Amino acid sequence: MKLRPYQQDAVDSVLREWQTRQRTLLVMPTGTGKTIVFAKIIDRCVRTGGRALVLAHRGELLEQAADKIAKVTGIGCAVEKAEDTAIGAWERVTVGSVQSLMRPTRLEQFRRDYYTHIIVDEAHHSLAESYQRILQHFSTAKVLGVTATPDRGDQRNLGAYFESLAFEYAMPEAIRDGYLSRISAQTIPLELDLTQVRTTNGDYNVGDVGHALEPYLNQIAHEIATVAKDRKTVVFLPLIQTSQKMRDALLSHGISAGEVHGESPDRRKILTAFDRGDFQALCNSMLLTEGWDCPSVDCIVCLRPTQIRSLYAQIIGRGTRIHPGKSNLLLLDFLWLTSRHDLVRPAHLVATSEEVARKMTQQLENGAPVDLQDLKRKAEEEVLHEREAALIKQLDEQRRKKRRLVDPLQYAFSAMDARLTDYVPAFPWEQEPSTPEQRERLDKAGIFAPSEMPAGQAVALIQSLEDRSKKDLATPKQMRFLEQRGFREVGLWSFADAQKMIARISANGWRVPLGINTQNYRPYRR
């Protein structure tokens, strides 16, 4: 199988990264062939005498991985799941269930160096205790985490385990290159109240969300029937009972609909029927976030609001694959009323920054469907213009401030303070950025404090100011004023002497009085 250019780059990057790192990440959106990529990586490892383990938490993912590895490389896989074991098997590749392999009695049957390479499919799960138990057992193995997005709901960064990011192929790139469907988003002006919904384990409580949704299901069904009546639609909901009620609501609005959940005895039959086109909409209680593909899906309705980008990306990923006759994927985005501002929205799929995402979300709320790529481009331009305007204003303010304040280096020489003129940072914290409070204090004292001033320098300057105040010496503003008129060694003047001279100059029309030689004048020598 000939790889796409970015897939080949991914394989090469991971193998190259493994030369200097033990644990690395591969980030590729759903539908871009990440399983093909790690199958090729496994092929390289096995051909050089290695033995590989593919970890996943669901049986469907294990089956898909084994099937893809066989198709791409011709390599067969042993299975470590339930009554099946890889111990004694001739295959050099194992697809393993986390739930089975994590058990100590099972794990201890394997030598710690049994696997040379481990692939963690859906790597956003890898920080879980079950995964870590397995990874720590095979502590000498090279590890590759594969995920559609590097975010995790409990806010624990994957960098806590993985050492580097070997390769990333972003969704906007995949859309631009024609490997994923273009995405249009449309905000539906139906306000759903989440203000009373609790947060559990870093995300909205599914039970609370389900109860909050129920009064609106009929209205939502009406909107779907109006906006997406000709589209093949998947609706994601938080609870089984909510999913079933949503199916019934769609049926009542003339939309042929099915429903599937983890306990459905005929799950495969329902999914096959939907894929075949026997009905238009499929409701599910978060069952289809991983390991299920139906490329013809061209509308996603997410009625499971989330703070977790990886979860949201998986939901949307069920509709991003290209398919003959499919022009784009439509995302229906409802207005969730919440006091928290960390709700993931369609803009986060492609936005390059939180600032761009906010701008896109504001523009999306106009109601009409908008292509996310076009919206991103427009939002980036607006943000860039706003940043430029803000920078111009900031630089202008800094110039004005600098004209009226004392430069830190000039103050150091004027004060004749060796602690400042000879200052060298000794500790890491000293090189950290100074705080706004520190810079504000220096500004009030008359010393120019730019935003890039290090914390150590700010602390030294503040200490110098405090010492001069205790000794009743001239202030930075007094020193600047007098030095501009030619006086020397003003740093040694007392506050009172400096004040008197400034008063004399003011009374003389802001000119140095006759008879005073500024080069030689020293009030403390009289």
What does each C-alpha distance from 62 to 66, 314, 358 come to in angstroms? 6, 17, 38
**What does the pLDDT read at residue 20?**
94
Q: Are residues 101 and 164 in the same domain?
A: yes
For residue 271, is it within any domain? Answer: yes
Q: Which CATH number goes with the domain that contains 61?
A: 3.40.50.300
**What does the pLDDT read at residue 395?**
62
- Asked if residue 426 has pLDDT above 60, the reply is yes
Helix axes 436-445, 455-470, angle to 10 degrees: 40
> Within 202-317, where are the H helices?
206-213, 217-227, 240-252, 267-276, 309-317
* 417, 447 Cβ separation under 8 angstroms: no
- Asked if residue 120 has pLDDT above 70, the reply is yes
* Residue where a domain stops, chosen among 145, 169, 193: 169
Q: Are residues 324 and 412 in the same domain?
A: no
Number of domains the chain contains: 3
For residue 372, which phi and psi values (nearest 5 degrees)? -65, -35
What does each C-alpha distance from 105 to 86, 327, 420 come to in angstroms? 15, 52, 64
Q: Nearest Cα to 376, choosing from 184, 113, 93?
A: 184
Query: How many whole angstroms separate alpha carbon 94 and alpha carbon 51?
Result: 8
Q: What is the arithmetic mean of pLDDT over 103-128?
A: 91
Q: Are residues 148 and 195 in the same domain?
A: no
Q: Are residues 158 and 245 in the same domain?
A: no
For residue 392, is it within any domain? Answer: no
- Expressed as residue numbers, the domain containing 213 is 176-382
Q: Are residues 357 and 230 in the same domain?
A: yes
Query: Which residue carries 């593909």 as its tokens?
Result: 293
What order of strands is seen across the sheet that includes strand 370-371?
257-260, 281-284, 233-236, 299-302, 329-337, 183-193, 370-371
Q: What is the per-residue pLDDT across 75-92, written as a single tens digit (0 to 9) for each? A: 999 999 988 999 989 999
The pLDDT mean for the chain works out to 89
The two structure tokens encoding residue 226: 């109006």
Residue 61: pLDDT band with limits 50, 70, 90: confident
**What does the pLDDT read at residue 325?**
92
**What does the pLDDT read at residue 340?**
60
For residue 398, is it within any domain? Answer: no
Q: Are residues 189 and 299 in the same domain?
A: yes
Q: What is the arithmetic mean of pLDDT over 68-75?
A: 93
Residue 354: pLDDT band with limits 50, 70, 90: confident
Q: Nearest Cα to 50, choosing from 68, 75, 71?
A: 75
Query: How many whole angstroms separate alpha carbon 416 and alpha carbon 496?
Result: 19
Q: What is the arithmetic mean of pLDDT over 182-204?
A: 85
The amino acid sitting at 254 is G
- Asked if residue 288 has pLDDT above 60, the reply is yes
* Residue where a domain stops, chosen among 138, 169, 200: 169
Q: What is the arithmetic mean of pLDDT over 266-293?
A: 89
* Residue where a domain stops, chosen among 115, 138, 169: 169
Query: DSSP character for 120?
Result: E
Most confident of 184-193, 402-411, 447-456, 466-475: 466-475
Q: Nearest Cα to 221, choosing from 183, 189, 254?
A: 254
**What does the pLDDT read at residue 437?**
93
For residue 309, is it within any domain? Answer: yes
CA atoms within 13 A on the CB side of 463: 11
Q: Are residues 359 and 250 in the same domain?
A: yes
Q: Are residues 152 and 204 in the same domain?
A: no
Q: How, if at all, do strands 183-193 and 370-371 pair?
A: antiparallel
For residue 235, is it within any domain? Answer: yes
- Asked if residue 398 has pLDDT above 70, the reply is no
Q: Are residues 322 and 294 in the same domain?
A: yes
Q: What is the per-residue pLDDT across 491-522, written as a single tens digit (0 to 9) for each? A: 999 999 999 999 999 999 999 999 899 998 98
**What does the pLDDT read at residue 39?**
95
The answer to which of 287-291, 305-309, 331-335, 348-352 has the lowest mean pLDDT is 287-291
Q: Are residues 304 and 377 in the same domain?
A: yes
Query: How many whole angstroms separate alpha carbon 487 and alpha carbon 182?
Result: 70
For residue 399, is it within any domain? Answer: no
Q: Are residues 248 and 354 in the same domain?
A: yes
Give the pTM.
0.71
Q: What is the arithmetic mean of pLDDT over 177-189?
A: 92
The amino acid sitting at 299 is C
Q: Are residues 372 and 454 in the same domain?
A: no
For residue 395, is it within any domain? Answer: no
Q: What is the arithmetic mean of pLDDT over 363-387?
A: 87
**What does the pLDDT read at residue 422?**
77
For residue 17, is it within any domain? Answer: yes
